Amino acid sequence: SKVPPINLNNGVAMPQLGFGVWQVPDDEAERAVATALEAGYRSIDTAAIYGNEEGTGRAVAASGLPREDLFVTTKLWNSDQGYDATLRAFDTSMRKLGLDYLDLYLIHWPVPAKGTYLDTYRAFEKLHADGRVRAIGVSNFLPEHLERLIAETAIVPAVNQIELHPHLQQHAARAFHARHAIATEAWSPLGQGKGLLEVPAIVAIAQKHNRTPAQIVLRWHLQLGTVVIPKSVTPSRIRENIDVFDFSLDDEDLAAISALNEDRRLGPDPATFDMG
Protein backbone atom coordinates (compact mmCIF):
# COMPACT_ATOMS: atom_id res chain seq x y z
CA SER A 1 0.00 0.00 0.00
CA LYS A 2 1.05 3.59 -0.50
CA VAL A 3 0.17 4.45 3.12
CA PRO A 4 2.85 3.75 5.75
CA PRO A 5 1.74 1.99 8.94
CA ILE A 6 2.18 3.08 12.50
CA ASN A 7 2.70 0.46 15.19
CA LEU A 8 0.10 0.43 17.93
CA ASN A 9 1.14 -0.33 21.52
CA ASN A 10 0.16 -3.99 21.11
CA GLY A 11 2.25 -4.50 17.97
CA VAL A 12 -0.67 -4.27 15.53
CA ALA A 13 0.13 -2.14 12.45
CA MET A 14 -2.44 0.52 11.51
CA PRO A 15 -2.30 2.56 8.29
CA GLN A 16 -1.52 6.15 9.22
CA LEU A 17 -4.17 7.42 6.80
CA GLY A 18 -7.66 5.98 6.46
CA PHE A 19 -11.08 6.83 5.11
CA GLY A 20 -13.89 8.22 7.32
CA VAL A 21 -17.57 7.77 6.50
CA TRP A 22 -19.45 9.91 9.04
CA GLN A 23 -22.66 11.44 7.60
CA VAL A 24 -22.53 9.24 4.51
CA PRO A 25 -25.79 7.32 3.93
CA ASP A 26 -25.44 3.54 3.59
CA ASP A 27 -25.70 3.30 -0.24
CA GLU A 28 -23.41 6.24 -0.80
CA ALA A 29 -20.96 4.79 1.74
CA GLU A 30 -20.76 1.63 -0.35
CA ARG A 31 -19.77 3.68 -3.42
CA ALA A 32 -17.41 5.94 -1.50
CA VAL A 33 -15.63 3.06 0.27
CA ALA A 34 -15.30 1.23 -3.07
CA THR A 35 -13.71 4.35 -4.58
CA ALA A 36 -11.41 4.70 -1.57
CA LEU A 37 -10.26 1.07 -1.75
CA GLU A 38 -9.56 1.50 -5.47
CA ALA A 39 -7.57 4.63 -4.68
CA GLY A 40 -5.36 2.69 -2.26
CA TYR A 41 -6.95 3.29 1.13
CA ARG A 42 -6.87 0.15 3.28
CA SER A 43 -8.24 1.56 6.56
CA ILE A 44 -11.91 2.47 6.95
CA ASP A 45 -13.42 4.30 9.93
CA THR A 46 -17.13 3.73 10.56
CA ALA A 47 -19.36 3.53 13.66
CA ALA A 48 -22.61 1.88 14.64
CA ILE A 49 -24.31 5.27 14.89
CA TYR A 50 -23.30 6.23 11.32
CA GLY A 51 -25.81 3.71 9.94
CA ASN A 52 -23.43 2.62 7.20
CA GLU A 53 -21.72 -0.49 8.50
CA GLU A 54 -23.65 -2.57 5.95
CA GLY A 55 -22.66 -0.42 2.97
CA THR A 56 -19.08 -0.36 4.23
CA GLY A 57 -19.11 -4.14 4.57
CA ARG A 58 -20.55 -4.60 1.07
CA ALA A 59 -17.78 -2.46 -0.44
CA VAL A 60 -15.12 -4.37 1.49
CA ALA A 61 -16.51 -7.72 0.33
CA ALA A 62 -16.84 -6.58 -3.29
CA SER A 63 -13.27 -5.26 -3.36
CA GLY A 64 -11.86 -8.79 -3.37
CA LEU A 65 -8.95 -7.55 -1.26
CA PRO A 66 -7.45 -10.06 1.18
CA ARG A 67 -8.92 -9.49 4.62
CA GLU A 68 -5.47 -9.18 6.18
CA ASP A 69 -4.70 -6.19 3.92
CA LEU A 70 -7.63 -4.24 5.38
CA PHE A 71 -7.98 -2.37 8.66
CA VAL A 72 -11.59 -1.83 9.71
CA THR A 73 -12.59 0.32 12.67
CA THR A 74 -16.06 0.63 14.13
CA LYS A 75 -17.35 2.24 17.32
CA LEU A 76 -19.74 1.32 20.10
CA TRP A 77 -22.56 3.85 20.49
CA ASN A 78 -23.38 5.50 23.83
CA SER A 79 -26.73 3.76 24.35
CA ASP A 80 -24.98 0.37 24.11
CA GLN A 81 -22.50 1.02 26.91
CA GLY A 82 -22.35 -1.58 29.70
CA TYR A 83 -20.80 -5.07 29.71
CA ASP A 84 -23.61 -7.22 28.25
CA ALA A 85 -24.99 -4.54 25.95
CA THR A 86 -21.50 -4.05 24.50
CA LEU A 87 -21.11 -7.74 23.65
CA ARG A 88 -24.49 -7.67 21.90
CA ALA A 89 -23.71 -4.43 20.03
CA PHE A 90 -20.41 -5.89 18.84
CA ASP A 91 -22.20 -8.90 17.35
CA THR A 92 -24.66 -6.60 15.59
CA SER A 93 -21.85 -4.49 14.11
CA MET A 94 -19.97 -7.56 12.94
CA ARG A 95 -23.08 -8.99 11.30
CA LYS A 96 -23.67 -5.69 9.49
CA LEU A 97 -20.03 -5.41 8.43
CA GLY A 98 -20.00 -9.05 7.35
CA LEU A 99 -16.65 -9.61 9.06
CA ASP A 100 -15.50 -12.38 11.37
CA TYR A 101 -12.95 -10.23 13.15
CA LEU A 102 -12.50 -6.50 13.59
CA ASP A 103 -9.24 -4.56 13.54
CA LEU A 104 -10.10 -1.75 15.96
CA TYR A 105 -13.11 -1.25 18.24
CA LEU A 106 -13.57 2.13 19.92
CA ILE A 107 -15.87 3.41 22.69
CA HIS A 108 -17.40 6.32 20.77
CA TRP A 109 -17.78 8.78 23.70
CA PRO A 110 -16.93 8.42 27.40
CA VAL A 111 -20.34 9.73 28.64
CA PRO A 112 -18.87 10.10 32.13
CA ALA A 113 -22.28 10.90 33.67
CA LYS A 114 -23.44 7.38 32.80
CA GLY A 115 -20.58 5.76 34.68
CA THR A 116 -20.39 2.76 32.33
CA TYR A 117 -17.20 3.21 30.33
CA LEU A 118 -15.15 0.90 32.59
CA ASP A 119 -17.63 -1.98 32.23
CA THR A 120 -17.85 -1.27 28.52
CA TYR A 121 -14.09 -1.46 28.23
CA ARG A 122 -13.98 -4.73 30.21
CA ALA A 123 -16.27 -6.19 27.53
CA PHE A 124 -13.79 -4.87 24.92
CA GLU A 125 -11.02 -6.70 26.80
CA LYS A 126 -13.03 -9.91 26.58
CA LEU A 127 -13.59 -9.44 22.83
CA HIS A 128 -9.86 -8.89 22.45
CA ALA A 129 -9.00 -11.97 24.54
CA ASP A 130 -11.42 -14.02 22.44
CA GLY A 131 -9.62 -12.96 19.26
CA ARG A 132 -12.59 -11.11 17.83
CA VAL A 133 -10.86 -7.72 17.67
CA ARG A 134 -7.16 -7.07 17.13
CA ALA A 135 -6.95 -3.76 18.98
CA ILE A 136 -9.22 -1.89 21.39
CA GLY A 137 -9.37 1.78 22.14
CA VAL A 138 -11.49 4.80 22.82
CA SER A 139 -12.68 8.01 21.24
CA ASN A 140 -13.28 11.44 22.73
CA PHE A 141 -11.71 10.45 26.05
CA LEU A 142 -10.19 13.32 28.01
CA PRO A 143 -6.96 12.64 29.94
CA GLU A 144 -9.00 12.31 33.17
CA HIS A 145 -11.08 9.51 31.61
CA LEU A 146 -7.96 7.78 30.32
CA GLU A 147 -6.29 8.04 33.75
CA ARG A 148 -9.21 6.20 35.30
CA LEU A 149 -9.39 3.61 32.52
CA ILE A 150 -5.66 2.87 32.75
CA ALA A 151 -5.83 2.60 36.56
CA GLU A 152 -8.80 0.23 36.62
CA THR A 153 -8.50 -2.00 33.55
CA ALA A 154 -5.78 -4.30 32.19
CA ILE A 155 -5.11 -3.11 28.64
CA VAL A 156 -3.87 0.40 27.84
CA PRO A 157 -6.04 1.61 24.92
CA ALA A 158 -4.23 1.35 21.59
CA VAL A 159 -5.87 4.50 20.21
CA ASN A 160 -7.77 7.60 21.32
CA GLN A 161 -9.63 9.13 18.37
CA ILE A 162 -10.21 12.82 19.09
CA GLU A 163 -11.16 16.00 17.27
CA LEU A 164 -7.85 17.40 16.03
CA HIS A 165 -7.01 19.91 13.30
CA PRO A 166 -4.98 23.13 13.04
CA HIS A 167 -7.64 25.12 14.92
CA LEU A 168 -7.75 22.54 17.75
CA GLN A 169 -4.28 21.10 18.20
CA GLN A 170 -4.86 19.16 21.43
CA HIS A 171 -1.40 19.67 22.92
CA ALA A 172 -2.29 18.34 26.38
CA ALA A 173 -4.08 15.26 25.06
CA ARG A 174 -1.28 14.44 22.61
CA ALA A 175 1.34 14.72 25.34
CA PHE A 176 -0.73 12.44 27.59
CA HIS A 177 -1.15 9.90 24.82
CA ALA A 178 2.58 9.95 24.06
CA ARG A 179 3.42 9.25 27.72
CA HIS A 180 1.15 6.19 27.67
CA ALA A 181 1.97 4.93 24.14
CA ILE A 182 -1.60 5.57 23.00
CA ALA A 183 -1.82 6.47 19.32
CA THR A 184 -3.60 9.75 18.61
CA GLU A 185 -6.13 9.51 15.77
CA ALA A 186 -7.51 12.79 14.40
CA TRP A 187 -11.20 13.10 13.60
CA SER A 188 -12.36 15.99 11.44
CA PRO A 189 -8.71 16.32 10.37
CA LEU A 190 -9.72 18.84 7.68
CA GLY A 191 -11.85 20.83 10.10
CA GLN A 192 -14.89 19.41 8.29
CA GLY A 193 -13.82 21.31 5.19
CA LYS A 194 -15.27 24.52 6.61
CA GLY A 195 -13.13 27.66 7.00
CA LEU A 196 -9.84 25.87 7.58
CA LEU A 197 -9.06 25.14 3.93
CA GLU A 198 -9.36 28.85 3.08
CA VAL A 199 -7.05 30.12 5.80
CA PRO A 200 -4.45 32.32 3.99
CA ALA A 201 -1.44 30.68 5.68
CA ILE A 202 -2.59 27.26 4.48
CA VAL A 203 -3.44 28.49 0.99
CA ALA A 204 0.03 30.07 0.75
CA ILE A 205 1.77 26.81 1.75
CA ALA A 206 -0.39 24.96 -0.79
CA GLN A 207 0.73 27.33 -3.54
CA LYS A 208 4.36 26.98 -2.48
CA HIS A 209 4.20 23.17 -2.83
CA ASN A 210 1.79 23.14 -5.78
CA ARG A 211 -0.66 21.10 -3.67
CA THR A 212 -4.17 21.65 -2.37
CA PRO A 213 -4.97 23.07 1.08
CA ALA A 214 -6.45 19.70 2.10
CA GLN A 215 -3.19 17.95 1.18
CA ILE A 216 -1.21 20.49 3.22
CA VAL A 217 -3.37 19.95 6.31
CA LEU A 218 -3.11 16.17 5.95
CA ARG A 219 0.69 16.41 5.65
CA TRP A 220 0.77 18.50 8.85
CA HIS A 221 -1.07 15.71 10.67
CA LEU A 222 1.14 12.96 9.23
CA GLN A 223 4.29 14.84 10.21
CA LEU A 224 2.93 15.27 13.76
CA GLY A 225 2.65 11.47 13.86
CA THR A 226 -1.12 11.27 14.19
CA VAL A 227 -3.40 8.89 12.35
CA VAL A 228 -5.82 10.72 10.00
CA ILE A 229 -9.16 9.66 8.53
CA PRO A 230 -10.33 12.36 6.09
CA LYS A 231 -13.82 11.98 4.66
CA SER A 232 -15.08 12.79 1.19
CA VAL A 233 -17.67 11.33 -1.15
CA THR A 234 -16.17 13.07 -4.19
CA PRO A 235 -13.92 10.64 -6.11
CA SER A 236 -11.35 13.28 -7.09
CA ARG A 237 -11.04 14.43 -3.47
CA ILE A 238 -10.88 10.85 -2.19
CA ARG A 239 -7.86 10.37 -4.46
CA GLU A 240 -6.38 13.76 -3.64
CA ASN A 241 -6.51 13.07 0.11
CA ILE A 242 -4.35 9.94 -0.16
CA ASP A 243 -1.91 11.50 -2.61
CA VAL A 244 0.19 12.97 0.18
CA PHE A 245 3.17 10.66 0.48
CA ASP A 246 5.51 12.18 -2.12
CA PHE A 247 6.22 15.57 -0.56
CA SER A 248 6.78 17.03 2.87
CA LEU A 249 6.36 20.27 4.72
CA ASP A 250 9.46 22.05 5.98
CA ASP A 251 9.93 23.42 9.49
CA GLU A 252 8.71 26.85 8.45
CA ASP A 253 5.48 25.40 7.00
CA LEU A 254 4.88 23.32 10.12
CA ALA A 255 5.45 26.32 12.37
CA ALA A 256 3.05 28.47 10.33
CA ILE A 257 0.31 25.85 10.68
CA SER A 258 1.03 25.27 14.36
CA ALA A 259 0.52 29.03 14.86
CA LEU A 260 -3.14 28.62 13.79
CA ASN A 261 -4.24 26.90 17.01
CA GLU A 262 -7.34 28.48 18.56
CA ASP A 263 -8.34 25.61 20.89
CA ARG A 264 -11.69 25.77 19.13
CA ARG A 265 -13.91 22.69 18.88
CA LEU A 266 -16.31 22.03 16.00
CA GLY A 267 -17.88 19.10 17.83
CA PRO A 268 -19.29 18.58 21.32
CA ASP A 269 -17.41 18.70 24.61
CA PRO A 270 -16.56 15.12 25.67
CA ALA A 271 -17.02 16.00 29.34
CA THR A 272 -20.75 16.53 28.86
CA PHE A 273 -21.80 14.96 25.55
CA ASP A 274 -24.27 12.17 26.30
CA MET A 275 -26.73 12.07 23.40
CA GLY A 276 -28.18 8.60 23.00
Where along the sequence are the contacts to ligand NAD (CB under 6 A)?
20-22, 45, 108, 139-140, 161, 187-193, 197, 212, 214, 229-232, 237, 240-241, 267
For residue 265, the minimal CB distance to ligand NAD (Å) is 11
Catalytic residue among 50, 105, 117, 121: 50
Given the complex with ligand NAD, which of 22 and 83 has the nearer CB atom?
22
For residue 2, the minimal CB distance to ligand NAD (Å) is 16
Given the complex with ligand NAD, which of 46 and 116 has the nearer CB atom?
46
Given the complex with ligand NAD, which of 11 and 192 has the nearer CB atom?
192
For residue 189, the minimal CB distance to ligand NAD (Å) is 5
For residue 44, the minimal CB distance to ligand NAD (Å) is 9
Given the complex with ligand NAD, which of 139 and 226 has the nearer CB atom?
139
Catalytic residue check, 50: yes
Which of 82, 273, 255, 244 has its CA nearest to residue 163? 273
What are the φ and ψ backbone dihedral angles of 27, each rounded to 5 degrees? -65, -45
Would you name the residues annotated as active-site residues? 50
